[in-house]
Each structure stands twice: as C-alpha cells, then as structure tokens.
C-alpha cells in the first residue's frame, strides 16, 4: 500500500521555505511537466479573461469540451471535464464502488488512494525490475483480471516510463470486457511519446462501454496550478459520472486555458521536439555515472536506479535540494524501495545543471 502521507512532485513552495530559495532559483525535476512552460497564447487568453472570475464558471464546460471533441474526433457527449485527471479517478471509483481493483505496482498512487477512499480492496500486480525491467507482462496480467471490478493502467506508466503496445492494450480491454471489469486507461503522458497517437485507445470508446480514458492538460501544457483534465468514455458512462461531479469543479480560468491550449499546435510540436532531444541527452549522460542506472525513457521523465547501494534516493534528494534541484524520490510508490528516483526532462541548460549537481553530490557520499 502507498504511504499514508500523500506525496507528489512539484512542491516548490515547500522547498523554498525549507532551503531559503526564491522560486526562480529552484529547478523542479520532481514534476514531469512541459519544459517550455505555459504557451504564450494560453497566457494571453488568461489575461484577457480575468474579468470572468466575477461570474460562476460554465458548469457544462461547453467550449472546452467542444475543443476536446473536435481535437479527438469524438462527440461532446463522450467528454467529461474535470478538476485535473485526479478528480475523474475519484469520480469513476465513486460511481462503481469497486469491491476489488487491479493496479500495477509501481504506478500512480492516486489509483489506490481513490479505491481505498471508497472502501474497496486492491489486487496489486508487481512489475518486476530484474526479469522485465518493469515492463508489463500482458499475458499474466490478463490472468489477474477475473474477479476485479476495475483495472487501472497508465500508458506510459508513471514512474517507470514503460509502454504497452496498442495490440496488447486491446487484448487487456477485451479480457476486461469478458469479465465485466472497467478499464481505466491513463494517457496523461502519451503526448510526449514518439508516435504516441499510435498507442491511444480513444477510437475504441464507441465500441467498448467498459473503457474510460484519462487525459491531462497539466503535463503537456504546464498548467498544474489551474487543474484541468478530462475523460473520454461512452455517452452513458459520461452521463453517470457527470451526475456525481461537484458543481463548478472546473473554474473559469482553467476552462479558458484548456480551450486555448488545444489550439497551440506549434507549441506542441516544439515540446515534442525538445523532449525527444533532451530525453536522449539526459539518459546518455546519467548512464555515465557509475552509481546510477537510468531506464530507457519513453515520455518526458526518466526513472533512475541507484546501483551502488550505499546511499538512498532520499539522501540524494536532500543533497540536490540544497542546491535548488528537486527530484522525485520514488520510495512512496507502492512496490518501489529506497533506491529509485525520477527526474523530468527539462531544457538543455536546466538538464546541465542537474548533471553538474549529480557530479558534485555523488562523490561526496560519506559511505
């Protein structure tokens, strides 16, 4: 089970208070966001819409849902807007009240928190590092589906970065359908994957009423503070979830930002280009550190194992934080020990600072 204390990346304020930095002096590698920051067009749309906060937000999120539907080629009735993808995770659990959920381990911890909050149990499916390098063994995973009400999968998986091929995901979906289990497929990081569209199951939504796909604007467009995400599902499922949603859960500015972000085609192209280049650079450079073992990355983050078991990721996180560099200690992920950490792919100058920090810190370990 995940740590009782909810731990996520991205707490820059805490680091500033603890270590005495100004926010602009901190480089946050602990949250896997776009390295290019908020698109200029989104900032302009927000500034032009500030006066909208004197009115209640549109409870239907009409313009945002229209923009998403147009982008994906589905109906508006297939889209549910949410206060980030996290709200939608809790909504589907509140709707289904699952007795038992199947969750890979390690994966995003909010899946299990949501299930526990509704009184459900979790069947963890361990992803083994030694035999599979955390890659999901699809055949044995499918054998674990019978007897579960809901299956959570993140593709690519957070924090491992491993990918399930589309045909394999379709097989999982078919097995879920056969056994009356809902598949919740989290595609939050798919925009950063090379040819990511080829892995998505959005086109399967009209054919499978047991499929719910999660999408997040947070990661791709660097909007974590506004909380905007959405789900894609059958019309019936979306209607049922919408009835459970708190009124006005998506504020006016979040709706404006999400709608504007979907128009930023050139920005998205540039983000993918930067991430592809810097992901390779960061991976190759970290590999040169004899104490560290990075796993081949697919999205905008890298999972790294501390091969020389003399120090922990917690120690490394503390030492780097004192230099204004934040990394994600993965010990709070169910199924991960104290020797794994995750770093986001950022701009080249920022990545150079991280690499320099690692070079300074690792030889300093007293053990």
The pLDDT tens digits for 31-42 are 999 999 999 999
Mark whether 199 and 304 lie in a shared domain. Answer: no
- Cβ neighbors of 291 (< 8 A, separation 6 or more) are 306, 307, 308, 362
**Which of the listed residues 223, 246, 263 is the one where a domain comes to its end?**
263
Q: Poorest-confidence range of 104-108, 137-141, 203-207, 333-337? A: 333-337
> Which residue range forms the structural domain that includes residue 352?
12-38+266-364
**Which of the listed residues 263, 298, 315 is the one where a domain comes to its end?**
263
| 215 closest CA partner among 201, 226, 225 | 201
Mark whether 342 and 257 lie in a shared domain. Answer: no
Mark whether 150 and 91 lie in a shared domain. Answer: yes
Mark whether 16 and 60 lie in a shared domain. Answer: no
Q: In the predicted model, what is the mean pLDDT of the chain?
A: 94
**Which of the listed residues 263, 281, 309 is the one where a domain comes to its end?**
263
Take residue 319 and report the two structure tokens written for it. Answer: 């030492």
CATH code of the domain containing 357: 3.90.1150.10
Mark whether 193 and 45 lie in a shared domain. Answer: yes
Q: Domain count of the chain?
A: 2
Question: Could you give the percent of the chain with pLDDT greater than 90?
Answer: 87
CATH code of the domain containing 61: 3.40.640.10
Mark whether 118 and 20 lie in a shared domain. Answer: no
Mark whether 26 and 88 lie in a shared domain. Answer: no
Tell me the per-residue pLDDT of 46-85, one tens digit each, with 9 for 90 and over.
Answer: 999 999 999 999 999 999 999 999 999 999 999 999 999 9
Confidence bin at 365 (pLDDT 50/70/90): low
Confidence bin at 108 (pLDDT 50/70/90): very high
Asked whether residue 5 is assigned to any structural domain, the reply reads: no
Q: What is the pTM of this model?
A: 0.94
Asked whether residue 205 is assigned to any structural domain, the reply reads: yes
Mark whether 217 and 288 lie in a shared domain. Answer: no
Mark whether 178 and 226 lie in a shared domain. Answer: yes
pLDDT of res. 364: 60
Take residue 40 and report the two structure tokens written for it. Answer: 């200029």
């Amino acid at each position: 089970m995940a740590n009782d204390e909810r731990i996520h990346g991205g707490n820059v304020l805490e680091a500033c208070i603890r270590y005495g930095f100004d926010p602009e002096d901190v480089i946050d590698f602990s949250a896997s966001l776009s390295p290019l920051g908020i698109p200029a067009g989104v900032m302009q749309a927000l500034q032009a819409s500030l006066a909208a906060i004197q009115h209640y937000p549109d409870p239907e999120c009409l313009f945002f849902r229209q923009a998403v539907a147009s982008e994906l080629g589905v109906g508006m009735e297939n889209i549910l807007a949410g206060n980030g993808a996290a709200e939608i995770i809790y909504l589907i659990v509140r709707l289904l009240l699952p007795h038992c959920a199947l969750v890979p381990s390690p994966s995003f911890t909010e899946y299990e928190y949501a299930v526990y909050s509704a009184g459900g149990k979790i069947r963890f499916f361990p992803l083994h590092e030694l035999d599979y390098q955390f890659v999901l063994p699809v055949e044995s995973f499918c054998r674990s589906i019978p007897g579960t009400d809901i299956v959570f999968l993140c593709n690519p998986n957070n924090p491992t970065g491993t990918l399930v091929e589309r045909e394999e995901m379709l097989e999982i979906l078919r097995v879920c359908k056969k056994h009356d289990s809902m598949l919740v497929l989290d595609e939050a990081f798919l925009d950063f994957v090379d040819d990511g569209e080829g892995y998505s199951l959005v086109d399967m939504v009209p054919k499978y009423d047991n499929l719910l796909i999660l999408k997040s604007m947070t990661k791709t467009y660097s909007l974590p503070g506004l909380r905007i995400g959405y789900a894609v599902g059958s019309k019936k499922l979306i209607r049922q979830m919408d009835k459970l949603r708190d009124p006005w859960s998506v504020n006016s500015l979040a709706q404006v930002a999400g709608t504007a972000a979907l128009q930023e085609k050139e920005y998205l192209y540039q983000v993918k280009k930067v991430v592809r280049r810097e992901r390779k650079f960061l991976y190759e450079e970290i590999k040169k550190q004899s104490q560290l073992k990075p796993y081949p990355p697919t999205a905008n983050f890298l999972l790294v194992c501390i091969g020389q078991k003399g120090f922990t990721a917690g120690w490394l996180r503390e030492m780097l934080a004192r230099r204004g560099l934040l990394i994600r200690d993965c010990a709070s992920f169910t199924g991960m020990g104290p020797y794994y950490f995750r770093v986001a792919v950022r701009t080249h100058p920022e990545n150079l600072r991280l690499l320099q920090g690692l070079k300074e810190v690792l030889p300093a370990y007293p053990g």
